[in-house]
Amino acid sequence: MLLTIILTAITMTVIVAVRYLAVSGIFAWITQRVKPGHYDGQSAQIGREIRWSLYSTAIYGVPTGVLAWGYTNHGWTMVYADASAYPLWYMPVSVLLYLALHDTWFYWTHRWMHRPKWFRIAHAVHHDSKPPTAWAAMSFHPVEALTGTVVIPALVLTIPIHTTMLGLVLFIMTLMAVTNHMGWEIFPRWLVHGPLGKWLITATHHHRHHKEYRCNYGLYFRFWDRICGTDKGLTNWEDRAFPGATEKTGIPAE
């Protein structure tokens, strides 16, 4: 049994790593095609982003593998495959519920990571991407990766979700993690600057966090930023200056 769990954990880690390399690689390729030279001079940074991200894949992959084993062999989770087990209307509701709870957890742990001690210990790794690239989506110190890896396991253990809806949640997680760090906006202006964009986070919103540090902490939605007064609006893409930061505080250098 132990060997099976270990093999499942290793397999899931490999899957997470391949997914990261494939998706980030695709969007890095799109960047090169759409904005040639956009990542010029960032080779060393990209190397660090990939290295830290691959460390993170193990931290994400191992508990996911253990849960996958438990789901298959003991029905540990609340994931269900029978579409009739719950009303059909619950499917989209479960997706929104997962995203809202994940966003809430991320907002508050992200703000915590900006406290001087924890920024210095862990979050500085992620902010070492200046500016971020498509490879920075999982570029976390192991301590920060651990704060992120508990979310989906906790949700699947407590909140029912259909297998296809869980797949959709994971797809949205991956898509937004990569596109929010591309260093340019891939989504259309009508979405980013329209009514929907006032509540959704895309690169134009998150990039400002990487420039100014103490604002725009959300993951999917601008809800918590808005009610907590930390929403500083969208990036001015014409301003290409990207200040450094003191490792101790995470405040942009003067």
Three-state helix/strand/coil letters over the chain: CHHHHHHHHHHHHHHHHHHHHHHHHHHHHHHHHHCCCCCCCCHHHHHHHHHHHHHHHHHHHHHHHHHHHHHHHHCCCCEECCHHHCCCCHHHHHHHHHHHHHHHHHHHHHHHHCCHHHHHHHHHHHHCCCCCCHHHCCCCCHHHHHHHHCHHHHHHHHCCEEHHHHHHHHHHHHHHHHHCCCCCCCCCHHHHCCCHHHCECCHHHHHHHHHHCCCCCCCCECHHHHHHCCCCCCCCCCCCCCCCECCCCCCECC
The position carrying tokens 């989906």 is 152
Q: Out of 100-104, 172-176, 197-201, 243-247, which region has the weakest mean confidence (pLDDT)?
A: 243-247
Residue 244 pLDDT grade (very low, low, confident, very high; cuts 50, 70, 90): low
- For residue 218, pLDDT over 50 is answered with yes
The position carrying tokens 């994400």 is 60
pLDDT of 246 reads 47
Tell me how far apart the alpha carbons of residues 86 and 119 are, in angstroms, rounded to a whole number: 42
Residue 38 contacts by C-beta under 8 Å, 6 or more apart in sequence? 31, 32, 183, 184
Percent of the chain with pLDDT over 90: 83
pLDDT in tens, 97-132: 999 999 999 999 999 999 999 999 999 999 999 999
CA angle 46, 47, 51 (to 5 degrees): 115
Tell me how far apart the alpha carbons of residues 242 and 236 are, in angstroms, rounded to a whole number: 12
Longest dimension (CA), the chain: 59
- Between helices 90-113 and 151-158, what is the axis angle to 10°? 150
Indicate the Cα dihedral angle 28, 34, 39, 43, nearest 10°: 40
pLDDT in tens, 143-155: 999 999 999 999 9
pLDDT of 72 reads 86
Residue 148 contacts by C-beta under 8 Å, 6 or more apart in sequence? 60, 106, 109, 140
Question: In whole angstroms, how large is the CA radius of gyration of the chain?
Answer: 19
Tell me how far apart the alpha carbons of residues 251 and 244 are, in angstroms, rounded to a whole number: 9
- For residue 243, pLDDT over 60 is answered with yes
- For residue 81, pLDDT over 60 is answered with yes
Tell me how far apart the alpha carbons of residues 200 and 223 are, in angstroms, rounded to a whole number: 8
- For residue 247, pLDDT over 50 is answered with no
Residue 190 contacts by C-beta under 8 Å, 6 or more apart in sequence? none
pLDDT of 112 reads 97
Tell me how far apart the alpha carbons of residues 131 and 62 are, in angstroms, rounded to a whole number: 30
Mean pLDDT value across the chain: 93
- For residue 184, pLDDT over 80 is answered with yes
pLDDT in tens, 28-62: 999 999 999 999 999 999 999 999 999 999 999 99
